[in-house]
Amino acid sequence: MKKILIDLNVLLDFLNKRNEHYQAAKIVDLCIDKRITGYICAHEITTLAYFLTKEGRGKKTKPIISRILDVFSTIPITEAILRDALHSRIRDYEDAVVESSCLRNEIELIVSRNLRDFRQSRVKAVSPKEYVAEYNVLRDRENR
């Protein structure tokens, strides 16, 4: 089963029905159905909680976080990952932490709308739209 990391912006698209919502929802559904293994970094969970609370979803924050934790595997952020990220070619440190997390956990792909910041990544990054299109092509080939 393919292991992919879902960047926080994709989860926010899904939860807030913005940007590439349809594709984000499709990716979440694939994770729920265990067709792919979706990962998120632990620091993304705390950032997500911040955004949910800031957006006025205070009472819904814990149930949403709980459901996210049910659906996705969480990558703990260790000192080794944080130190590795310091040596990444990616300028944005948070994105470098995502890349280092993927490398340490053998994640094959990052799904993000923020492809510009992942240009220097050692782990391939694709948009939600690209991922859904690629998944559909692979599924169609298997069904032939």
User: What total number of domains does the chain contain?
Assistant: 1
Encode pLDDT of 81-114 as tens digits.
999 999 999 999 999 999 999 999 999 999 999 9
Asked if residue 54 lies in contact with residue 110, where contact means CB atoms within 8 angstroms, the answer is no
Render the burial of 28-46: b for 16+ CB within 10 Å, e for the rest: bebbeeeebbbbbbebbbe
Encode pLDDT of 124-144 as tens digits.
999 999 999 987 755 655 665
Q: What is the pTM of this model?
A: 0.90
CATH number, domain containing residue 60:
3.40.50.1010
Averaged confidence pLDDT in the chain: 92
**DSSP for 28-55?**
HHHHHTTSSEEEEEHHHHHHHHHHHHHT
Residue range(s) defining the domain that contains residue 113: 3-142
Encode pLDDT of 7-57 as tens digits.
999 999 999 998 889 999 999 999 999 999 999 999 999 999 999 988 877
DSSP state of 56: T
Asked if residue 110 lies in contact with residue 123, where contact means CB atoms within 8 angstroms, the answer is yes
CA distance 136 to 43: 30
